Amino acid sequence: MTARDRLIRLQRTLVIALATRAVLVGAAAAFVVLTIAKVFGLSAWTVLLSIIIGSSVAIGMLLRSRGVRSLSRVALWVEERTPSLRYSLVTVADGAQSPSVDAQALSAPWWTNAQNILLKALLAPGIAAILALALAWWAPLANRGASESGAASAAAKAAKVGDVLAVVHVAVTPPSYSGRPATTVDDPTSIETLVGSVITVSGDGDANLLSATADSTPRSVAQRGAGWSITLAMPARPGVVRLHSAAGRDRLIVLAPITDAAPAVTLLIPKHDTIVRRATGMFPLHAQLRDDIGLRDASFELVVSSGSGENFTFRTTTIARTSLGGRTETTLDARVSLDSLKLQPGDILQLRAVARDANNIDGPGIGSSETRSLRVARADEYDSVSVDALPPPEEQGSVLSQRMLLNLTEALVKRQRSLARPMLVSESQRIAGDQRKLRKRVGDIVFQRMGGEPLSEEGTDEPERGKLTAEQVLRMADSVTGAGAGGVMDVEGDETPILAINKPLLEAFNAMWDAGRALEVGEPAKALAPMRIALAAIERARQAERIYLRGKPSTAIVDVAKARLAGKDKGVASIREPRPVVDPVVRRRSATFERVTSLIARDPDAAADSLLLMRVDALGDAPQLAAALDDAARALRKHDNAAIPLAWMRVRRALGGAAEQRAGITPWLGAP
């Protein structure tokens, strides 16, 4: 018998088997529908419905199997299950007449395997039809048994009417922002869901027979038709719902809240803080964002700080704000034009990535990355000699402090009409306290220059000195030095050098006294004039003395003069091998090849394309590498699992360069 004759016989057998299978499945479906109709006591017309459903199922399966009429389709079906035929049976089915092809088609007993497969395919439908017939036969007997035990079940149900906790249903509706579906569970011991979820506990029975508490707080039980219901929200902390029935039965349900975590933000670019000479060009930003439920939006926040000392200005802006639509993991990229920020020497640009989730219950949760800074260097940072910074003299610090107090007082005067009297006095006295401390520091400068002790320690009960005249200052100098109070000290004129130096500070000292008295009684407007006088006097004192102290140079880590010619090396150095220099082109190609290697398992065709692109790049300067890449790409395209490892080894060797031959080792010339 030829292969074509066996294939035609198999086609007939296959038609019979598929028809039988369709009839069995249709009969099983009809018997199942008939069983359901008998169990629920439906009318007689359901028998006709079961016949229609069974016939429809059988016809549908026959229509799906109409491809068996094609001899080529049958041959392909056999070829799929017997790969050793190598499409010889399909060739015979198409009408080819060749003894060699016919012999190859009969080389394996495929007709026996096909018949076994058909018998196994009929086994499950046959069992299903028998079981469905048994159920249809058993249904009337079950109905009679149910009718006989109806009275007993009714009595049992009546006995359980008083137990409102016989069955407890819990429905959980998560917050809308989470996008999670509502769930229902019966008789739970605990409920784990997001904070803010709506929890509905329900059951059968009279609501008046039940009481409920949540963490010792009473909860109202509502009557819902023939049953009861309790509604509450998932708290932020774990809790317990206690249900107590009038029959003395208790049920406990544990509330286990799941907290919505804040987004995790990682700033990948830039990795470190940066100092630049000039802030120009584009500055790339790249951040990675993750959240356990979903991200709402993300952006980059930039803060530019300018100024020095006590005078700083800040500019804040937000860029690349993006709506993420509930994604759990994504990246955020942006490019900042440093030219548009107009950064000056000494300015600092601070940036970070910020992400928000869609939590509208106890949020939104806000996550931020580490802050990176970009500072524009000042011109004096590039001096050839590095010296320790000298702190400003006391007069300069007093200028800054007095100017700050003046600004605070002017701001208080502007707000004076909108403030209540007690609030105005409180703010004014707070400024007066700072003015008193500054006045003491100025007085200390005056008296220390005269060789005396400071006025008093801060926090002591010693009364504050009032205004001082020049004569009082000189008498204090006399008490310290023992000289005549009114004598002229080494100069001609009416004013001593000590008094000439301290006169502007003495004027500021007295003006601060007037300003402090006005502020103490809550009259900041009257304190402005003496505060301006004090500021001008301090400015004159600062400009009068031009004494610049150089900072000491940094200590040298190594004293070169002392260490020169002090070593014990005799001048004999060991033989050192030169360190290999890695070509950046080779490094780049190696990195690309590693990425291609990880791509093989996912997409071999894409890996082959990448190898071909590498080969184009290597043709000019690395012909050996180009040849190895060509072999590797060809092996990938053919899916030759035996040739791929060998080709990969050749590429790796070509990337590492030619083999190194060292002198002193003779080549092997073979066995003697």
Query: For the chain, how many structural domains are there in total?
Result: 5
From the list 113, 108, 76, 81, the residue with the least C-alpha distance to 92 is 76
* Residues 138, 38 within the same domain: yes
Token pair, residue 643, equals 């040739």
CATH classification at residue 253 = 2.60.40
Burial 92-127 (b: 16+ CB within 10 A, else e): bbeeeeeeebbebbbebebbeebeeebeeeeeebee
Which CATH number belongs to the domain containing residue 290 in this structure? 2.60.40.10
Q: Nearest 5°: phi and psi at 601?
A: -65, -35
What's residue 664's pLDDT? 59
Domain boundary among 358, 380, 402: 380
Note whether 614 and 593 are within 8 A (CB).
yes
Q: Percent of the chain having pLDDT more than 90?
A: 7
Domain contains 637: yes
Return d(Cα 50, Cα 36) in angstroms, integer: 10
The band of 564, judged by pLDDT with boundaries at 50, 70 and 90, is confident
Least confident window among 139-148, 174-183, 416-425: 139-148
* Stronger pLDDT, 417 or 572, i.e. the higher one: 417
pLDDT at 148: 44
Could you tell me which residue, 485 or 15, shows the higher pLDDT?
15
**Could you tell me the pLDDT band of residue 595, with boundaries at 50, 70 and 90?**
confident
Tell whether 150 is covered by a domain.
Answer: no
- Looking at the fold, whether 431 and 316 belong to one and the same domain comes out as no
Distance, in Å, from the CA atom of 255 to the CA atom of 193, rounded to the nearest integer, reads: 8
Determine which helix (DSSP H) or strand (DSSP E) holds 187, and give its type and residue range: none
Question: Are residues 273 and 254 part of one domain?
Answer: no
Looking at residue 487, what is its pLDDT? 42
How are beta strands 274-276 and 372-376 bridged, if at all? parallel
Are residue 81 and residue 205 in the same domain, yes or no? no
- Do the domain assignments include residue 152? no
Alpha carbon distance 73, 64 (integer Å): 13
Amino acid at position 229, single letter: S
State whether 60 and 105 are in the same domain.
yes
For residue 191, is pLDDT > 50? yes
Dihedral of CA atoms 487, 492, 497, 501 in degrees, nearest 10, equals 120
Question: E strands of 309-414, at which residues?
Answer: 311-323, 329-337, 348-357, 366-368, 372-376
Confidence band (pLDDT; 50, 70, 90) for 299? very high
Q: Are the beta carbons of 431 and 404 closer than 8 angstroms?
A: no
User: What is d(CA 318, CA 509) in angstroms, rounded to the nearest whole number?
Assistant: 47
Paired tokens of 335: 């490019």
**Residue 333 located in a structural domain:** yes
Query: In terms of DSSP H, where are the helices of 304-452?
Result: 338-341, 394-414, 421-449
Taking residues 22-29, report their average pLDDT: 79
Return mean pLDDT, the chain: 76
Give tens-digit pLDDT for 300-316.
999 888 876 667 788 88
Cα separation, 315 vs 319, whole angstroms: 13
204 residue type, one letter: D
> What pLDDT is recorded for position 167?
82
Interval 552-564 mean pLDDT: 71
pLDDT of residue 157 exceeding 60, the answer is no
Give the pLDDT mean for 163-189. Answer: 84
Residues 85 and 15 occupy one common structural domain:
yes
CA pair distance 538, 399, nearest whole angstrom? 6
Whole-angstrom Cα distance, residue 59 to residue 56? 5
Residue with more model confidence, 562 or 358: 358
Q: Are residues 244 and 282 in the same domain?
A: no
Q: Is there a domain that residue 567 lies in?
A: no
pLDDT tens column, 361-408: 877 889 989 889 888 888 777 655 544 454 554 444 555 578 888 888
Q: Which domain holds residue 237?
A: 164-258
> In which element (H, E) is residue 604 found?
helix 604-618
Q: How would residue 285 be classed by pLDDT, with cut points 50, 70 and 90?
A: very high
Q: Is 555 contained in some domain?
A: no
Same domain, 80 and 195: no
Rank 133-147, 286-300, 313-327 by mean pLDDT and report only the highest: 286-300
Q: What average pLDDT does this structure show over 165-190?
A: 84
Residue 444, amino acid: D
Nearest to 375 by CA among 265, 266, 270: 270
If phi > 0 it is left, if psi is from -120 to 50 it is alpha, else beta; for residue 48 that is: alpha
Residue range 566-583: mean pLDDT, rounded: 68
Please check the confidence at residue 340 and state whether its pLDDT lies above 80.
yes
Alpha helices (H) along 323-420: 338-341, 394-414
Query: Which of 235, 258, 281 is the last residue in one of the domains?
Result: 258
Residue 473 lies in a domain: yes
CA 594 to mean position of chain CA atoms:
28
Q: What is the pLDDT of residue 40?
A: 65
Do 371 and 348 meet the contact criterion of CB atoms below 8 Å apart? no
Q: Is residue 672 part of a domain?
A: no
Residue located via tokens 């006005």: 518
Of 110, 144, 178, which marks where a domain is finished? Answer: 144
- Tokens 């003046």 — which residue? 406
pLDDT at 668: 56
| Range 136-145 average pLDDT | 58
Percent share of the chain, pLDDT over 70 = 74
* pLDDT(209) > 80: yes
- The pLDDT, as a whole number, for residue 464 is 59
As a whole number of angstroms, the distance between CA 223 and CA 186 comes to: 19
Rg of the Cα trace of the chain? Answer: 48
Q: Which residue has the higher pLDDT, 476 or 582?
A: 582
What does the chain come to in residues?
672
Task: Please check the confidence at residue 333 and state whether its pLDDT lies above 90.
Answer: yes
What per-residue confidence (pLDDT) applies to 400?
55
pLDDT at residue 355 tops 90: yes
Between these two residues, 659 and 627, which has the higher pLDDT value?
627
Q: Nearest CA to 535 among 391, 394, 405, 410?
A: 405
Task: Give me the mean pLDDT over the 467-488 stretch.
Answer: 53
Same domain as 622, residue 534: no
For 206, residues 6+ apart whose C-beta sits below 8 A from its C-beta are 164, 223, 228
The pLDDT tens digits of the residues spanning 440-460 come to 888 777 766 555 555 544 444
Helices (H) and strands (E) in the chain, counts: 18, 19
Whether 498 and 477 have beta carbons less than 8 Å apart is answered as yes
Q: Note the Cα 439 to chain centre separation in Å.
A: 53
Of 316-325, 555-564, 585-594, the one with minimum mean pLDDT is: 555-564
Q: What is the pLDDT of residues 64-108, one digit of tens each?
A: 777 777 777 777 777 777 777 677 777 767 776 677 766 766 777
Residues 118 and 210 in one domain: no
Place of tokens 């009297």: 421
Same domain, 469 and 592: no
Q: How far apart are CA 303 and CA 313, in angstroms?
A: 10
Greater confidence (97 vs 635) lies with: 635
Q: In one letter, which amino acid is 577?
A: E
Q: How many CB atoms lie within 10 A of CB 579?
A: 6
Within this chain, do residues 172 and 230 fall inside the same structural domain, yes or no?
Answer: yes
Query: What is the rounded distance in angstroms from the CA atom of residue 512 to the CA atom of residue 467?
Result: 9
Read off the tokens for 670: 């073979």
Give the Cα separation of 616 and 630 in Å (integer): 10
